[in-house]
Structure 1
């Protein structure tokens, strides 16, 4: 059985039997580069939500999303540090080879979204004063956290020839991106008014849902070390999943803009045609902007699935 040595833990073989690794926790986990990076993540997210909470500088769905992001990232990073310090990786309910990098990738995307959404939908409309200063500082620390999480992903991702978990590979990280983009799409189409008037648009929503579920299943199978439970080889499963998602998203990329922005299909090609998209500031995104955002995110996810298909197909050919 291969023995994996991580950057922050020492893995040895116990005397109870050959091949059974015992992970020893140590305070050195905080003095190694990866441990120091996680401390930076912990501090920056803590400062971000503390600054905002101290002056109540969050309102509406976008403000709540940013606040949730910083609190969630702080809590999970703290759990990871406790597990590393206590040497509890073997007792952790999820695969430790896959969980930290999966979380770091999600956290980087979460903090990136908060660093963009919070200042553009909230901070810029605050009047000058203590609340605005705290909000700007929180945005700065959110950006620092985003860079810290992205750095962890770059440090811990798989290198050529390295034996590691699937989630540390490019296809695994693409799965994270695909599910995250799908979640953002769901947030933008939370109002059924955007799609219920056309069966074609309902198909697009079904595409987003089906592809999200399939990608989430692939991630959960790896986090739970359950890939051997599939009736077919896991690489073949991934290739089939990626191919199906590419075909589905290709239809959505055509249908969604066609029915949302083409006047022939009762769409609105210009933002000015949507009376709800005025210049008055509100803490929500107007319907036309939501439609445009979904169209852009659909294209981004299609590109991600195409790249996923290329990498997954290559893995099948290599194993063959």
Structure 2
């Protein structure tokens, strides 16, 4: 008699087990190979290895919870949690793969070191693929959960956090803002807005549509986070390029003026490039926050208009 997936363990834990083992192996080996290259002093390398460690740790915790059958005792949807972390880790893993690959593969001459850098990058892409498969599997596997379909504001709020995740590896290089209070303020802006976004995600959910729109638990938090982030990013979008590229304020207006960018031993993305990337991403994220705020305003006016219209349609009370 042929063995089916339903014999022994059910298919859900089996599929999850194989995905989790792949995630653990790919992130662990990526970290080990990256660490063996001796690039601990490089801020981008440290960030990449931190991401691999974080993904490994979360996949390990998830595996322990499922093996012990603890998910049924948690006060939230386990499928929703798996969807959220797999989706986010898939994004940050692909960003990490691109940053590490473009920054470090070409640094080493052909040989064992370059091969380790290539393998670490490839396995990081494998981890991205495994997280993407888990997202799809959570959606299509049998169960009570319907696949999450993000609304337009849900997409905006995810994008805000994703752009912040791309900014962080570049500002991990303290040479970009050391001894400049205005630039330290910008780093504070990126950090506090990201933290507020995560808190809002945990409190109000992922702003998804299944069969119906999910109500926000604390709409005030969403308003405070969005408006506050717009104001903070508005300061960063002015201060960051001003102090990074204005010569009178200690900046370097051209790439050629940064001697580290002409060093053949440096990474592909030199310090001046990192400054430019952060400036561009800051402007893009400000536009996303503004779009989010405009949507909230229009939604509030729409709800108010619907309420007034419904009141006007009510029959008048007899005198």
TM-score for both structures, normalised by structure 2: 0.68
Q: CA deviation at 1:187?
A: 4.5
Give the conservation status (yes or no) of the 8 Å contact 2:93–2:125. Answer: yes
Superposed CA RMSD in Å reads: 4.0
1:102–1:176 contact (8 Å) kept in structure 2: no
Q: State the distance in 2 between where 1:30 and 1:284 align.
A: 42
Greater displacement, 174-183 / 98-107: 174-183
Distance in 1 separating the partners of 2:185 and 2:48: 30
1:275 aligns with 2:259: yes
2:11 to 5, 28, 31: 28
Cα deviation for residue 252 of structure 1 reads 2.2
CA shift in 2, pair 1:31/1:96, >3 Å = closer
Q: Give CA deviations for 1:128-155 in whole Å, capped at 9, x if unaligned.
A: 2233223312211211221332344466
Q: Distance in 1 between matches of 2:217 and 2:11?
A: 39
Structure 1 residues 131 and 103 mapped into 2: Cα distance closer, same or farther (>3 Å)?
same
Work out which of the residue numbers 244, 261, 281 in structure 1 matches 2:245.
261
2:72 equivalent in structure 1:
90
Partner of 1:243: 227
- Give the CA deviation at 1:115: 0.8
1:214 matched to 2:212? The reply is no
The CA distance in 2 between the partners of 1:90 and 1:207, in whole Å, is 38
Moved more, 137-146 or 239-248: 239-248
Residue matched to 2:104:
122
* SS class of match (1:124): coil
Q: Quote the offset at 1:221 in angstroms.
A: 3.1
Q: Which residue in the other structure is 2:58 paired with?
A: 76
Residue number in structure 1 paired with 2:170: 188
Task: For 2:23 and 2:121, locate their aligned partners in 1 and report how far apart those are by CA, in whole Å.
Answer: 14
Q: Is the 8 A contact 1:62 1:283 kept in 2?
A: no
Equivalent residue for 2:81, pick from 99, 107, 122? 99
Please state whether the residue corresponding to 1:276 is helix, strand or coil: helix
Structure 1: runs of 5+ lacking an equivalent: 1-24, 224-231
> 1:291: Cα distance to partner?
1.6
Checking the alignment, whether the CA contact within 8 Å between 2:176 and 2:275 is kept in structure 1 is no
**Distance in 2 separating the partners of 1:307 and 1:77:** 34
Aligned to 2:120: 138
1:162-189 deviation line (CA, Å, top 9, x unaligned): 9889997665565455345435535434
Q: Is the 8 A contact 1:46 1:70 kept in 2?
A: yes
Structure 2 counterpart of 1:62, from 44, 49, 52: 44
Shift of 1:125: 1.8
Structure 1 stretch displaced more, 289-298 or 98-107: 98-107
Aligned-residue offset at 1:119: 2.0
Query: Is the CA contact 2:226–2:293 (under 8 Å) kept in the aligned structure 1?
Result: yes
Q: Are the structure 2 counterparts of residues 111 and 283 from structure 1 closer, same or farther at C-alpha, using a change threshold of 3 Å?
A: same
> Cα distance 1:260–1:246, how it changes in 2: closer, same or farther (>3 A)?
same
Cross-structure match for 1:18:
none
For 1:155 and 1:312, the matched residues in 2 are separated by: 32
> Would the aligned equivalents of 1:98 and 1:165 in 2 still touch at CA under 8 Å?
no
Post-superposition Cα deviations, 1:97-141, rounded to whole Å, max 9, x if no partner, equal 543233223312331232112222222222322332233122112
CA contact (8 A) 1:58 1:64 kept: no
| 1:309 CA displacement | 3.6
Report how far residue 283 of structure 1 moved: 6.1
Residues 294 and 167 of structure 1, relative CA distance in 2, 3 Å threshold: farther
> Following superposition of structure 1 onto structure 2, how do residues 226-237 of structure 1 map, counting pairs within 5 Å?
234-237=218-221
Cα displacement (A) at 1:67: 3.0
